[in-house]
Amino acid sequence: MNDMISCCGADCSTCYCFGDLCKGCNALCGKVFHVPDGKECVIYHCCKIQNGYDSCGECDKLPCDLIFGTRDPNMSKEEFMRSVDERVKRLKGE
């Protein structure tokens, strides 16, 4: 999988925060700008640390409550649901 694709299927290179604010989930081992210092994203923690997956695409619960619980407040509900659908398809290779 492309290094810019996070374990949750987000394409970090297309994020408005990518660059000076954030280098991407994989590069930062899940310790991205929106989580408290020293902690990793809850999705990254579940996927990589807790379950040892390369991506959420390996989990039979995808999409799960963790993904649904991390909506970017800059997105409408409809935009977020489209994003989740795109991420799941990306992770499943569809």
pLDDT at position 27 is: 93
Is residue 23 within 8 A of residue 31, CB to CB? The reply is: no
| 3-state percent breakdown (helix, strand, coil) of the chain, nearest 5 | 35, 5, 60
Max alpha carbon distance in the chain (Å)? 35
pLDDT at position 61 is: 95
Domain boundaries, the chain: 12-77
Whether this prediction's pTM lies above 0.85 is answered by yes
Q: What is the pLDDT along the chain (94 residues), one digit of tens a residue?
A: 588 999 999 999 998 889 888 899 999 999 988 888 889 999 999 999 999 999 999 999 999 999 999 888 888 999 999 999 999 999 998 7
pLDDT at position 78 is: 96
For the chain, the first-to-last Cα distance in angstroms comes to 13
Whole-angstrom distance, CA of residue 47 vs CA of residue 70: 14
Q: Alpha helices of 19-76 — where are they, by DSSP H?
A: 42-44, 65-68
